Chains A and B, each alone.
Chain A
Amino acid sequence: MFPTLQLGPLAIQTPGLILLLALWLGLALAEKRSARHGVHPETLYNLTFAFLIAAALGGRLVYALRFPSAFAASPLNLLSLNIGLFDPWGAAFVGLLGALWYGRRKRLTLWPTLDALTPALAVLALGLGLSHLASGDAFGAPTTLPWGLELWGEVRHPSQVYETLAATGILLYVVFRKPAGEGRLFLEFLAASAGARLFLEAFRGDSFLLPNGWRVAQVAALFILGAALILRERRPAR
């Protein structure tokens, strides 16, 4: 695991760097293929920036609302670059609102836009697997299998490797998939990702569990898989 990259006096957080690279490469790939979905490349960049800016503002605002006294004591911390001062759910929710607002302003059509974004999402998913490998997050359950890796005091499933391999397979599918009807590429990506998570979560050592031992992420993945498959059937084929 390589959580930091030391460059002289600078300590760079490798997982964050990997995700930034994945975002950049993903957008570049999506830009090259956006014309086949009738979406202008600039639209993808602007939509992404709208999401990121809204997410940054929303994440910080929600966090400050949760802990007002800490910011009252040091108001300048509202502008802090500390990543720990963001609420992830607030960031995701406000980010989505920002993207929706931009989409409505530019009168974007939903399904072609989602299809155009899918290559970027697939590259980001691969980046996430690699960032977990770097940080040691999303670690595996203990195992006696010969390909187990020692991590955090025990020999574990290399779940970050499983995740990265699955994301690579899904990315290749997205890249080589022949043009289908509007929305099908995105929904197939969603179904494949949910299916992969449903399967691979069984090998994780950090799952949130329901009282009966079922893994929360697997149950959520099952619902997303079902919704994606049903919606895909309703989308007209090309």
Chain B
Amino acid sequence: MKIKQPLFPALRIAAILLAGLAWIVLSAAPADAPAERLPAPRAGFPAPPFSLPALSGETLSLSDLRGQVVVLNLWASWCPPCRAEMPALQRAYADYRDRGLVVLAVNATDQDSLEDATAFVRQNGLTFPVLLDERGEVGRLYLLRSLPTTFFIGRDGLIREVVVGGPMSEALLRTRIKTLLEETP
């Protein structure tokens, strides 16, 4: 039986769409897919763990901060946008620390002067933990390509956003922090 001309396009389209639907079913994600990804420095992945000495002398581990919102900021004292955004970070820390915010400022000490970094922290009255990456270990772990780079990490330890470059506007900082603090664990 010859298929009538007007019917042929409709049959062709139906066949294509059925094939598409079959592909969707065949390629559906398996029920036993692993839920956890390996740590990686990008949004949607667990933040790579590290331990570093702080300017205050104690050693701080990222894993100790699970359950809190962490703003991980990689910086250096010679970097103008890093210096420009520090006051906004300090203000946000002061306003939100009681709600579970931690700002971790990791100084790229392998490419900075400890004296200059310490002087900058003192002059600006920074009260959040300042960690010293003396061997560039966190820089390598987090694929640091540009200073500053900021990672917004949720209470579950997953990176939510990476901001490369700066200075970050205060509005951006506060909206991201607020969104993370309001997430239900």
A71 to B59 CA separation, bound complex (whole angstroms): 36
Residues in A with CB closer than 8 Å to B171 are: 67, 70-71, 73-74, 77, 80, 82, 85
**CB neighbors of A among B141-185 (8 A):** 145-146, 161, 163-165, 168-172, 174-176, 178
Given the interface pairs A152-B38, A153-B39, the reply to whether A84 lies near B24 with Cβ below 8 Å is: no
Point out which of A153, A206, A209 has the most chain B C-beta atoms below 10 A from its C-beta. Answer: A153
Residues in A with CB closer than 8 Å to B39 are: 153
Selected contact of B45 from candidates A4, A152, A230, A233, CB within 8 Å: A152
CB distance from B60 to the nearest CB of A (A): 24
Q: Is residue B84 contacting chain A, with contact meaning CB distance below 8 A? A: no
Q: Is residue A29 contacting chain B, with contact meaning CB distance below 8 A? A: no
Query: B169 contacts A80, CB within 8 Å?
Result: yes
Selected contact of B24 from candidates A152, A222, A233, CB within 8 Å: A222
Given the interface pairs A67-B175, A207-B29, A226-B17, the reply to whether A218 lies near B24 with Cβ below 8 Å is: yes
Q: Is residue B1 contacting chain A, with contact meaning CB distance below 8 A? A: no
Q: Is residue A199 contacting chain B, with contact meaning CB distance below 8 A? A: yes
Residues in B with CB closer than 8 Å to A96 are: none
CB distance from A18 to the nearest CB of B (A): 15
Query: A222 contacts B165, CB within 8 Å?
Result: no
Chain B interface main SS type: mixed
Q: Is residue A215 contacting chain B, with contact meaning CB distance below 8 A? A: yes
CB distance from A13 to the nearest CB of B (A): 7
Selected contact of A82 from candidates B29, B168, B178, CB within 8 Å: B168
Point out which of B21, B40, B45, B172 has the most chain A C-beta atoms below 10 A from its C-beta. Answer: B172
Q: Is residue B3 contacting chain A, with contact meaning CB distance below 8 A? A: no
Given the interface pairs A67-B178, A85-B169, A222-B17, the reply to whether A6 lies near B145 with Cβ below 8 Å is: yes
CB distance from A235 to the nearest CB of B (A): 12
Closest to B174 in A: A70
**CB neighbors of A among B1-43 (8 A):** 9-10, 13, 16-17, 20-21, 23-25, 27-31, 37-40, 42
Given the interface pairs A80-B169, A198-B20, A225-B16, the reply to whether A4 lies near B145 with Cβ below 8 Å is: yes
Which A residues are within 8 Å of any B CB, using their own CB?
A: 3-4, 6, 11, 13, 63, 66-67, 69-71, 73-74, 77, 80, 82, 84-85, 136, 152-154, 195, 198-199, 201-202, 206-207, 209, 212-215, 218-219, 221-222, 225-226, 229-230, 233
Which B residues are within 8 Å of any A CB, using their own CB?
A: 9-10, 13, 16-17, 20-21, 23-25, 27-31, 37-40, 42, 44-45, 145-146, 161, 163-165, 168-172, 174-176, 178
Q: A13-B165, A201-B27 are in contact. List 12 more A-B contacts (CB 8 A).
A: A67-B178, A70-B171, A73-B171, A74-B170, A84-B168, A85-B169, A152-B42, A199-B23, A213-B28, A215-B24, A219-B24, A222-B20
